[in-house]
Chains A and B, each alone.
Chain A
Amino acid sequence: MSKHPLRGSTAIVGVGLAGIGEAKGRSHLELMGESIHKALSDCGLGLGDVDGLWTVNMDNFLPSLTVTDYLGIRPKHVDGPNVGGASFLVHAISAASALHTGLCDVALICYGSNQRTGAGGFVSKSDPPQWEAPYKPRLPVTAYALAAARHMHQYGTTREQLAAVAVAARQWAQKNPLAFMRDPLTIEDVLKSRMIVDPLTVRDCCLATDGAGAVVMVRADRAKSLKKKPAYFLGGAAAQWYRGISGMSGDITVTSASDSGPRAFAMAGLKPSDVDVLELYDAFTINTILFLEDLGFCPKGEGGRFVADGNIGPGGKTPVNTNGGGLSCVHPGMYGIFTLIEATEQIRGEGGERQVPGVNVALAHGNGGTLSSQVTVLLGSESTL
């Protein structure tokens, strides 16, 4: 099999986080700017080196223009579709392609939100889904609850198994000093917490925090000369099938991760058993179960049993969401960029107490809309090239 031209041709060389949790008094652009400062300092580049920009956010109608203006840069290539929280993984695929083809030399992917402490609160700026809004579903949680209820009906998945996802995320968060929620959490705690939309309680739902993240990518030849160990882009693929959950005409327990995953693995020339750590967009506990199945880490319908058997927490054979995920670390409206950042830190071996030993291949997976958009990216250490 011939090697895909994008396999190993670019790498993530700088990552930065800012305002994880609560960052009162800071705007989304200030938080994003701080994360960019950290990401560029992380690799030893400057803002003047950035000539490609990928960004979306929840506050700006023309985010690329606002961010360009704020940073005072003049990028020669811009891109950045908004497919919800998965956007930043699409951005990584697009940046890999643009770097490889020479459209730009230093790609910046960035996001920031102050939705927890900012004046805007949690008011959604999203257009109401025309054929769902009249029924006043509480979105997005209702959409995920509908998928969870169907998964429970079809495969016998239990609330305790869903809760096991939240508990594993919390166990990882307890090893991450940046994580927003680090108190002990038990299955019983999750089951007893406030029901939002049956079968999902507040502890089955992601956090609503402030936070920002930035990622810098360059071509592989340049990556070697920068400050940190590169996390090479090995493969990536996006899939999207609908907007609102009612637009899914088939089995809602199968997401388009079943399409993005195999294509990402094919580009990387890898299989699920090659993956050392997974960073999955866990907006709700059902997500982790669906994505483990759809990405090929367990058979369809077995996800509940898989997570309850201790596979995904610290010490498990398939470590998932080592930063604590959207459930316990950070979820500032859009989470996708944090999957790329944690995957990179794990490949570098910078995870501290939460570091998984010997990570060479990391999978980052983004979710957007209401299970509508799925994007898979595989990153690897130099030994995978």
Chain B
Amino acid sequence: MSADSQVWAGPGPDATYNSYIEKGEFRLQRSKATGKYVFPPRVMAPGSLDNDFTWEKASGNGTVYSAVIVRQRPEAGGDFSIVLVDLDEGVRLMSRVVGMEPSKVKIGQRVKAKIGEIDGKKVVLFEAA
């Protein structure tokens, strides 16, 4: 393989992220050059050509940036929370806060990540810290 045909070996960032999640690990790309974390996984840091990353275990600590309640019929599973969480690592993601009433989830609340499942797919969820 010529040196310029592929910039890294092995699976891409999406597959790497998902393989960690499947093993129950929440990891984030971190730029070796700037120390900044990247989410969602990418081949380059946003707005940058910076592509040399390590995969660091996320602290899982975050703060609810915004929170809403999706209304749903009880027979379909009932209401659930959708949140944007700002991780302490400086990245934002959409998720759900579980283990508490959706109406009790507050903006500014500290939360902790856990790997859970929605419809059989492993995903990062949050619960009250």
Contacts and interface: CB of A to CB of B under 8 A. Distances in A.
Given A137-B70, A142-B82, A153-B66, A132 B107 contact: no
Contact of B70 (A147, A149, A197): A197
B43 interface: no
A135 B96 contact: yes
The number of chain B residues touching the other chain, given as a range, is 20 to 34
A142 B67 CA distance: 10
Interface stretch (A72-80, A245-253, A268-276, A347-355): A245-253
Given A135-B82, A135-B94, A137-B82, A142 B70 contact: yes
Contacts of A310: none
A252 B66 contact: yes
Contact of B66 (A130, A131, A149): A149
B95 interface: yes
A248 B86 CA distance: 11
B94 A244 contact: yes
B12 interface: no
Report, as a range, how many residues of chain A touch the other chain: 20 to 34
Contacts, number: 70
Interface in A249-284: 249, 252
Contacts of B70: 136-138, 142, 197
Contacts of A197: 68-71, 82
B55 interface: no
A147 B92 CA distance: 14
Interface in B56-112: 65-71, 80, 82, 84, 91-96, 103, 107-108
A199 B82 CA distance: 12
Contacts of B23: none
Contacts of B71: 195-198
Interface of B: 14, 40, 46, 65-71, 80, 82, 84, 91-96, 103, 107-108, 118-119, 121, 123
Nearest first, the 7 closest Cβ-Cβ pairs linking A and B are A246-B94, A145-B68, A198-B69, A150-B66, A146-B66, A153-B107, A131-B40
